[in-house]
Structure 1
Amino acid sequence: MAKKKNTLLFSISILISFLAIHVRSDGSDHRYKLGEPVPLYANKVGPFHNPSETYRYFDLPFCLPAHLKEKKEALGEVLNGDRLVSAPYKLDFLAEKDSEVVCKKKLTTEEVIQFRKAVTKDYYFQMYYDDLPIWGFIGKVDKEGKSDPSEYKYYLYKHIHFDINYNKDRVIEINVRTDPNSLVDLTEDKPVEAEFMYTVKWKETTIPFEKRMEKYSQSSSMPHHLEIHWFSIINSCVTVLLLTGFLATILMRVLKNDFVKYAHDEEAADDQEETGWKYIHGDVFRYPKSKSLFAAALGSGTQLFTLTIFIFVLALVGVFYPYNRGALFTALVVIYALTSGIAGYTATSFYCQLEGSNWVRNLLLTGCLFCGPLFLTFCFLNTVAIAYSATAALPFGTIVVIVLIWTLVTSPLLVLGGIAGKNSKSEFQAPVRTTKYPREIPPLPWYRGTLPQMAMAGFLPFSAIYIELYYIFASVWGHRIYTIYSILFIVFIILLIVTAFITVALTYFQLAAEDHEWWWRSFLCGGSTGLFIYGYCLYYYYARSDMSGFMQTSFFFGYMACICYGFFLMLGSVGFRASLLFVRHIYRSIKCE
């Protein structure tokens, strides 16, 4: 079994590499001779505070190169919104240049207005030089000593300085500076003359080529950042240990008393009526309502859990190093497609255990439960991106590739998994017999309802991860780099443990109140952390970020809804599985007639 798992992991890694997780520049070995051209690609421009709202570099009226060439990109890069084209600057290896003129251009009134709007929104540009990322702002707004916005001055930077470090025949580092004194005044709506220039300086360094990406990792793990991360983990661990320890002590003591009481009652053989969770032993394994939907949710959640584990494995072995363009998106698409068989097998086998008859419909429901909302969200957001002419809009060819992957890989594996699940013929293991007619559930106080229980269940796991959530959001929806995957993995393990434990505790209290409808409740309580994460999205958007505009707002809340829904399914499956093990254990431990 371990050998098969290792083989599968190796195959996934090979497939991801084949799909070009990182695309090499034209100099594939990154070695250059004196004066040899080093590939420089302009990627995109956009408002600094709206990471999803990016446009092609030459959507702004910059100087076009003599021969504009588009770079072929991998699937993950396109999904990431990258659109690389040849830049107008020539940065040949070890060729220094002082105030080289790119072009002299007379900006029309329309171009001046276009640039001014971009400067107002804090537009930045991104380029790649020998696969190293570089950024800079295109201009600035002068607000000094002016309170009235109509008095602001708007300037476009026209002189860029490239400082490049090299080691022998390889490029190690590149930094970009804009000259604050070389400006084009965009304040008035009138044509202006602009002379775009650049300067190139080379400096030798001893940093080896293998460590040239380390500076990006170090920027994400500065000492004060690491202290906050470890504080987050220690805080989570202490909180979790105290609360779970407290609950565990109560639960174990109560269970022990229950076992002693029930054993004493059996020995005494008195005529007293049973109370508590033993009283409902004939109903506790009664199958849930909407069992096809329940099995589909369990299958989808199990697949997403497997997907998350594989992503963590790849992250921990160093696949997702900084600016490995599109790596994560490629991995998500490929691994999701390859793990669809797990969803089919889990859903169908469990559905058949619950004595379901229409397994084909259950399989279709499983395939659509997560992909359906994701597809509808994508269609809406892609339409918005097309309307904005943003790079987030996927080209037709990329959409065809994704459809082919879903048709040729995801769907067949889902069906094969479903057939295997149907043919497994495993029976549901219930330690006690289920009675023919269900007992009536006694009236319960309001705080034992589904929604209050979900609120209680979701708060504790969320409190264990909320500090780390900020850094993840700042990376996904900002310009920070996240590389401390080991810490994130520890937080994820804590999340699973707390989710399982709090769901088990609430399931016990539900059964002790003689409420036997625990199946859906355990799933909903386990997954309720996803709702808390979406609530955090509202807080992050309005209190911790400067995102604005319809497109960015749509992308943020649309895709975060899909991610939180995925967390709901995954953690719901974890909560139910933990509760099922617990319920089987306690009813196996007592004697029921």
Structure 2
Amino acid sequence: MELVGRMPHVIRLCVCFTFFITVARAFYLPGVAPKDFFKGDPLKVKVQKLASVKTQLPYSYYSLPYCTPKKIVDSAENLGEVLRGDRIENSPYEFKMREPQMCTVVCHHTLKAKDVKEFKEKIDDEYRVNMILDNLPLVMPYKRSDMDSLVYQHGFPVGVKVQYGGQKEQKYFINNHLAFTVKYHKDEETDAARIVGFEVKPFSVKHEYEGKWNDNIRLTNCDPHAKRIVTGNDSPLELEDDKEIIFTYDVEFQESEIKWASRWDTYLYMADDQIHWFSIVNSLMIVLFLSGMVAMIMLRTLYRDISKYNQLETQEEAQEETGWKLVHGDVFRPPINSDLLCVYVGTGVQCFGMILVTMIFAALGFLSPSNRGGLMTALLFLWVFMGLFAGYTSARLYKMFKGTEWKKITLKTAFLFPGVVFSVFFVLNALIWGEESSGAVPFGTMFALVLLWFCISVPLVFVGSYVGFKKPAIEDPVKTNKIPRQIPDQAWFMNPVFAILIGGILPFGAVFIELFFILTSIWLHQFYYIFGFLFLVFIILIVTCAEITIVLCYFQLCSEDYLWWWRSYLTSGSSAFYLFLYAAFYFFTKLNITKPVSGALYFGYMLIGSYAFFVLTGTIGFYACFLFTRLIYSSVKID
């Protein structure tokens, strides 16, 4: 008996321990501590993946016949990296700290017809090669015509395609010579240096040499002793069958004033930075102004209504009730498909908790971009943990609707949303696997995701539901009549479909500017690390969803329509419809995707994102309306 009495304390301890382990695992940043290098220390370059904004299908670096080391070794990867399609491996590119190299030969190949075809396909699809040095990604600097400062692109192109004779003849040239620049910040006292930049300029070079090839042969067009670095402008290397190809590289070391703590600033810089900041501030001011007006109007109107209703009661006037007070006997009547509403509200709380905690940690700087896959890993683990709150919320709401089968509602909460997302993800992964892309999630990782779902998330949902259902039922502020009241004919602008679609415009307007930069970072392979402003936008979204739902709910009740439960959820949740439309607009105006599989991947993943956004915003609107109705009906005197 004593143990049973202490069960809530045991559950709290388990929850706290689970939360600690989850946060520690999700936000642990391996390998981000600074490394000191002295002159002559070996620097090993790692290859990451071949990526293209045209196909959105990543491939392993060694899927092309590039130079390979004696033994290919995979680096340890976290769950987020695997889901992103990252495959980090060692490479034959090796430097020595602060010791320049010129025209170092990596390997010598004779391309077969199959190799040439593979290279040409990757050049057609605009694939770029990604590498890493000391946890810094390789970038290629270039200068835009409309900007004075340099802009950096991730990786370098596999090659270039040139059109001849009015586009009738095409020639392909491979980038086989890489001019690396390693920037370092030197400590004058210890002579140690830290790497703060990793840049490259690729060239297509037709190397020349005398005699037969051997490992010690000297290239006549690139003499390191004469310190003459080849540029490749005069004799590019064309891709042809049975063509000889020599891969070479140069390394130059440059001392930089950039400190190690600021070395990621180059990668996080956005080309449209001023436009980005101005747009966010402008959106913030507009939404805050509208929110202030809506709040002021609602407070004044409600204060007048409540004062009038209470005054009528005190004077005992025999006047007929009008407005929202008239439906007090039906406003808390359980809705149709109340089980499904409980499931979606619980899932929305799960999404809200996951996003809120992740965003707080990211805004505080815990999710460093140097921890590749850290953001996705954090989202997954927090989603699993937040199943506790999903079960608790759905069970509490289910009991308020006089439900008795709490295990049934628990199973729906644990499997409906994750099941839909996993099904779509499984189909998309099958398409990626069919393209033989490294972005396909391996069977072991897929099995790990299923284990996280069934062995951790589902039990936590059950624990939350058990605790929530044991709590006393939420009491309604007014009694519900046995016979439902007939709803009068509504004006055209109070039509449910019209009102729901109108309600989603303002929440979408609060985030669509930020959405552009998020889509750009995801589909154009750029870093996104402005989580401080994203957190402000998230707060604006919460306020906007709550206020627009309350306003439309108030108008609905004033029209004597008491079916507000589902409409409050769908009003703010309809913003997901506009999000998906904007995603389609972005696809046709900003992206250059032509392959059907790539298009299916884009719309599949955006469908998952829009579905999650629907659940999130719908739950915010529902709870805002739920608290609003309880507040106003508990503020008036009702016989």
- TM-score of the two chains, using structure 2 as the length reference: 0.86
One-letter identity of the residue aligned with 2:197 = E
Asked if the contact 1:48–1:124 (Cα under 8 Å) also holds between the matched residues in 2, the reply is no
The 5-angstrom pairing of residues 486-525 of structure 1 reads: 486-525=532-571
Partner of 2:254: 203
Match runs of 1:125-524 below 5 Å? 125-134=129-138, 135-143=155-163, 146=164, 148-166=166-184, 167=186, 168-179=192-203, 181-182=231-232, 183-186=236-239, 190-217=241-268, 219-220=269-270, 225=273, 227-424=274-471, 426-524=472-570
- Structure 1 contact 229–487 (Cα < 8 Å) conserved: no
Corresponding residue SS for 2:68: coil
Q: Once structures 1 and 2 are overlaid, which stretch shifts more, 242-251 or 539-548?
A: 242-251
Secondary structure at the aligned position of 1:66 is classed as coil
After TM superposition, the structure 1 stretch with the greater mean CA deviation from structure 2, 60-69 or 284-293, is: 60-69
- For 1:467 and 1:335, how far apart are their aligned partners in 2? 26
Q: In structure 1, the residue corresponding to 2:545 is in which secondary structure?
A: helix
**Structure 1 residue 79 displacement after superposition:** 1.2
For residues 200 and 295 of structure 1, the distance between their equivalents in structure 2, rounded to whole angstroms, comes to 61
SS at match of 2:580: helix
The aligned counterpart of 2:598 is: 552
The answer on whether the counterparts of 2:349 and 2:390 sit within 8 Å (CA) in structure 1 is yes
Amino acid at match of 1:557: F
CA distance in 2, matches of 1:37, 1:329: 32
The amino acid of 2:283's aligned partner reads: S
Change (3 A) 1:128 1:306: same
Q: What is residue 74 of structure 1 aligned with on the other side?
A: 78
1:235 deviates by 2.3
> 1:112 deviation in Å?
1.4
Partner of 2:25: 15
- For 1:110, the aligned partner's letter is K
Partner SS state of residue 184, structure 1: coil
Structure 2 residues not aligned, in runs of 5+: 1-8, 139-154, 187-191, 205-230
Q: Please list the CA deviations of residues 131-159 of structure 1 after superposition, one character each: whole Å capped at 9, or x if unmatched.
A: 1111111111224xx57332232211111
Which SS does the other structure have where 2:102 is aligned?
strand
Report the alpha carbon displacement of residue 87 of structure 1 after superposing the two structures with TM: 1.4
Q: Distance in 2 between matches of 1:295 and 1:414?
A: 13
Q: Is the 8 A contact 1:547 1:553 kept in 2?
A: yes
Contact 1:302 1:573 in 2 (8 A): yes
User: What amino acid is the match of 1:402?
Assistant: L
- Do 2:47 and 2:88's aligned partners in 1 also have CA atoms closer than 8 Å? yes
Cα distance in 1 for partners of 2:535, 2:276 equals: 12
CA distance in 2, matches of 1:77, 1:583: 45
Rounded Cα–Cα distance in structure 1 between residues aligned with 2:358 and 2:134? 27
Structure 1 residue 558 displacement after superposition: 1.1
Give the direction of change, closer, same or farther, for the CA distance of 1:401–1:331 in structure 2 (3 Å limit). same
Distance in 2 (CA, whole Å) between partners of 1:79 and 1:358 is 37
Moved more, 340-349 or 29-38: 29-38
Whole-angstrom distance in 2 between the partners of 1:82 and 1:163: 24
8 Å CA contact 1:23–1:73 kept in 2: the answer is no
- What SS does the corresponding residue of 1:574 show, helix, strand or coil? helix
**Mapped contact 2:27–2:367 kept (Cα < 8 A):** no
2:26 partner amino acid:
I
- Residue by residue over 1:85-125, the C-alpha shift from the partner in whole angstroms, topping out at 9 and shown as x without a partner, is 22122223333221111122111122112211211221100
Instruction: Decide whether the 8 Å contact of 1:354 with 1:428 is kept in 2.
Output: no
Rounded to whole Å, the distance in 2 between the matches of 1:431 and 1:394 is 51
Match of 2:215 in 1: none
Q: Which residue of 2 aligns with 1:87?
A: 91
Question: Residue 270 of structure 1: CA displacement?
Answer: 4.4
- After superposition, the Cα gap between the structure-2 partners of 1:9 and 1:417, relative to the gap in structure 1 and judged at 3 Å, is closer
What is the CA-CA distance between 1:511 and the residue it aligns to?
A: 0.5
Cα distance between partner residues in 1 of 2:24 and 2:109: 48
Structure 1 254/17 Cα, relative in aligned 2: closer, same or farther at 3 Å?
A: closer
Partner of 2:50: 45
SS in 2 for 1:91: strand
Q: What residue in structure 1 maps to residue 142 of structure 2?
A: none
Give, in angstroms, the shift of residue 298 of structure 1.
0.8
Partner of 1:527: 573
Residue range with higher mean Cα deviation, 7-16 or 160-169: 7-16
Deviations 1:13-33 (A, max 9, x none): 312256xx5457xxx863345
Native 8 Å contact 1:348 1:362 kept in 2 = yes
Structure 1 residues 84 and 477 mapped into 2: Cα distance closer, same or farther (>3 Å)? same
Deviation string 1:434-474 (CA, Å, 9 cap, x unpaired) is 11110011121333222211111110111122111111111
Segment drifting more, 551-560 vs 564-573: 551-560
Does the Cα contact within 8 Å between 1:299 and 1:342 map onto a contact in 2?
A: yes
Deviation at 1:388, TM superposition (A): 0.6
Runs of 4+ that moved beyond 4 A:
3-11, 21-24
Q: Deviations over 1:270-321 (max 9, x none)?
A: 4443221111110001111111111111111011101011111110121222
**Deviation digits for residues 495-543 of structure 1 (CA, Å, limit 9, x no counterpart):** 1101100000000000011001101110111211122111111111111
Preserved contact between residue 22 and residue 326 of structure 1 (Cα < 8 Å)? no
Which one-letter code corresponds to 1:185 in the other structure? Answer: E
- RMSD across aligned C-alpha pairs, in angstroms? 2.3
Task: Provide structure 1 residue ranges, at least 5 long, that are not aligned to the other structure.
Answer: none
- State the 1:205 CA deviation: 3.2
**2:126 matched to which residue of 1?**
122
Counterpart CA distance in 1 for 2:264 and 2:285 is 35
The CA deviation at 1:371 is: 0.2
- Greater alpha carbon shift after TM alignment, 132-141 vs 4-13: 4-13
- Percent identity at matched positions? 34
- For the Cα contact (< 8 Å) 2:196–2:260, is it kept in 1? yes
- Cα gap change, 1:29 to 1:501, in 2 (>3 Å): closer
Counterpart Cα distance in 2 of 1:324 and 1:335: 17
Please report how far the alpha carbon of residue 554 of structure 1 lies from its aligned counterpart in structure 2 after TM superposition.
1.9
Q: Residue by residue, what CA displacement relative to the aligned partner does 1:15-58 show, whole Å, maximum 9, x if unpaired? A: 2256xx5457xxx86334543432321111132434x3110111
Partner of residue 218, structure 2: none
Conserved 8 A contact 1:281-1:432: yes
Conserved in 2, the CA contact under 8 Å of 1:23 and 1:325? Answer: no
Look up the SS of the partner of 2:156 in the other structure.
strand
- 1:22–1:327 contact (8 Å) kept in structure 2: no
The farther-off stretch of 201-210 and 60-69 is: 201-210
In 2, Cα distance between equivalents of 1:23 and 1:151? 48
SS of the residue corresponding to residue 593 of structure 2 reads: coil
Q: CA deviation at 1:573?
A: 1.1
Look up the SS of the partner of 1:152 in the other structure: strand
Contact map agreement 2:84 2:373 (CA 8 A) in 1 = yes
Match of 2:146 in 1: none
